[in-house]
Amino acid sequence: MDVTVETARELGLTADEYANIVQALGRTPSYTELGIYSVMWSEHCSYKNSILQLKTLPRTSARMLVAMGEENAGVIDVGDGYGVAFKIESHNHPSAVEPFQGAATGVGGILRDIFTMGARPIAALNSLRFGEPDSERTKYLIKGVVHGIGHYGNCFGVPTVAGEVYFDRCYTDNPLVNAMAVGVVRADRMASATAEGPGNPVFIMGSSTGRDGIHGASLLASREFDDETENMRPTVQVGDPFAEKLLLEASLELIEAGVVVGMQDMGAAGISCSTSEMSAKGGVGMTINLDKVPLREADMSAYEIMLSESQERMLVVVQKGREAEAAAICEKWDVPFVQIGEVTEDPHVTVYRHGSLVARVPAISLVLGGEAPVYVREQREPEYLQLTRKPVDNGPTLHQAECTGILKKLLAAPTIASKRWIYEQYDSQVGTNTVIRADGDAAVLRIKELPGKAVAVTTDCNSRYVYLNPHKGGMIAVAEAARNVVCTGALPVAVTNCLNFGNPYDPEVYWQFAEAVRGMGDACRALDTPVTGGNVSFHNESQQHAVYPTPTIGMLGLIDDVDTVVGSSFPASGLAVVLLGTQRADLGGSEYLHTMKERIYGDAPYFDMDEELRLQQLTLQAIRDGLVTNAHDVSEGGLLVALAEMTFGSGVGIDVSISTEHTAGFLFGESQSRIIVGVDVQHVDELRRRCETSRVDVDVIGTTGGSRFVVRNLVDEDVSDLRNVWEGSLPAILSTSIAQV
């Protein structure tokens, strides 16, 4: 067919981008070539609207074995010759169109990013955002997404150990499904996504190629939702976790055998992406014969084969002369392994179909860091901030009946309520590495290869804070993620991020994005937690509105002695209940405002980076030294909700007194940098002394014991009654019994 600028526009390219393609090739592109450019220059693959902001993030550390953007996932040195690979990515748009397969293939894709590095996955996590849960669309989406995540992870055999779920009206049409994975790798066995050595054979390994997922990157993940979205189901990939399990084992054995020159999974943009990125990185090219690619449908065109995003596939460059050895390994695991081309000195990706040349493109012209377009977008502070920037009244003094009623409403609020009905659909124990699972502040996993060592992992972001103040909200997202791993006894060491925003061509959205990235960078530098990689997902919006700006943080923490790990629940009676950090009355952006006033306004809650650092350092050392029995940070719902949550795991009650004014601002406000700990009575004086030295406020507010939740003059309820409110809310709203899951 004739290719024109109109053809380019239909594929998501601009007129200027089409002109640049013509210039790069020195001629009019073929339809297949234009398709390759359309996916490789899509927002999803090229980061053309975000890369300049991402480059401002801290990206170096003595612990980093792989720098940001160098490989499929970041890798952190954990000592003794081992590294931990971890990464988070989005699968928002596919999950909105087909929630089960969208979420399932999101899990599959992030797992491949881990094991293509040579790392064996040990954990999966997620961060989910939905609309109000009483809407029929939300019920449909959440059940499909949760089923998809559980199905893929459980069948593949990786524990899903942690996550977060938020509910806000802005996510009704456009849910967010962010998937994270963690793996362990020997530092001397890491594989690279690099093609080298002209003459080396190029193989496709894994599942056959079909028509599923064509233009998933360019026409689904790089556009907003409209009335045509429901018709885009064919652009959603279909996953097979059992095939991926075999692909994992074959990949790791190939790497261990030393036959692999380079390896990359086929995710967004499929063969187009893996061939061009591996070639460009190695400064070489590839010749590809599409007649050799195993197909599900024989009549597929070159365009369809190059753009297919069929799952469970790898592109592997093998050392010449060791093809038979590699093939034997794949045959052992019953994984298809077919040579489709070879590496060339000529730095072009050259593609043939039915004996004819269908594409010849300079690899460097396609990729991020090469000649893919890079844009500086206009920024403008959003007008809505003029409406939300209002002082928030902290309310009158609360009495017992009123305070108890508010506490119960907050415990039942979907964002705060127990997510047990979700995480019990996930196998969190397979692999027997899990020390603390989804009901802790962070999940903790043993590193079996390094006895005594463990990692703590979490995902965090309160998008309401980012909506009200993107810079401060971005800082808080990083700080809370670090605080959560600290509450287990882990040292925060590195970050992966998934940046979910609206249309980057909207100056107000781009201002949100730039400010949030600036805040994240400031916090990462202060905490010495470099960004190892991640994902940007733009165009998260419907015809009515964009989602809240949601920079999800995946945090990795290291633990040298797994025996020092603590959970969040009070483990016994007779402990002192101690509040670390400064109490402030601050309802800005709080769940209290959302639940009780049905509004979100004010500033993001109080946050001071120096206070946060002192608090985290103090808490971490106290846990390591055995002064603390359990720890839980104060976040959504404020102080009273945090205290209640700490009683639910064990059923051990508390009797505490709050010394501040008994207003909603103090009791339910979400000012940052606060942690509640349980302390053996004999250690209280030592903890006080350390707090004074560290300039961290400390308040011994009560003791543990009995089965009642008592806050003097404010609440006096049985722990089990409050727990029933907390656990029963979400299943009731979704008409789902916990027993059913």
Calculate the CA dihedral of residues 509, 514, 518, 520 and round it to 10 degrees. Answer: 50
CA distance 129 to 131: 7
| 673 in Cβ contact with 523 (< 8 Å) | no
- The SS3 assignment for 314 reads strand
Which amino acid, residue 328?
A
CA distance 103 to 115: 19
CB burial of residue 60 (10 Å; 0-12, 13-18, 19+) = exposed
Q: How far apart are the first and last CA of the chain?
A: 52
CA distance 148 to 108: 10
The active-site residue, picked from 91, 151, 662, 683, is: 91
SS (H, E, C) 44-61: HHHCCCCHHHHCCCCCCC
CB burial of residue 375 (10 Å; 0-12, 13-18, 19+) = middle
Q: 473: closest CA among 507, 499, 493?
A: 499
The CA-based diameter of the chain, rounded to the nearest angstrom, is 84
Helical axes 719-733 vs 638-648, angle rounded to 10°:
100
Which structure tokens are listed for 88? 């988070």
CA distance 199 to 284: 11
CB burial of residue 399 (10 Å; 0-12, 13-18, 19+) = exposed
Please indicate whether residue 471 is annotated as part of the active site. no
CB atoms closer than 10 angstroms to residue 685: 9
* Neighbour-count burial for 185-215, b at 16+ CB within 10 Å, e otherwise: bbeebbbbbbbbbeebbbbbbbbbbbbbbbb
Which amino acid, residue 175?
P
Contacts of 254 (CB under 8 A, 6+ apart): 260, 263, 316, 326, 329, 330
CA distance 429 to 451: 18
- The SS3 assignment for 165 reads strand
Identify the residue whose tokens are 């084969």: 305
Please indicate whether residue 151 is annotated as part of the active site. no
Backbone angles phi, psi at 19, to 5 degrees: -60, -40
Identify the residue whose tokens are 């009731």: 732
Identify the residue whose tokens are 């844009």: 375
Please give the DSSP secondary-structure letter assigned to residue 450: S
Pairing relationship of beta strands 74-79 and 64-66 according to DSSP bridges: antiparallel
CA distance 9 to 18: 8
The active-site residue, picked from 44, 594, 662, 683, is: 44
CA distance 318 to 337: 11
Residues involved in catalysis = 44, 91
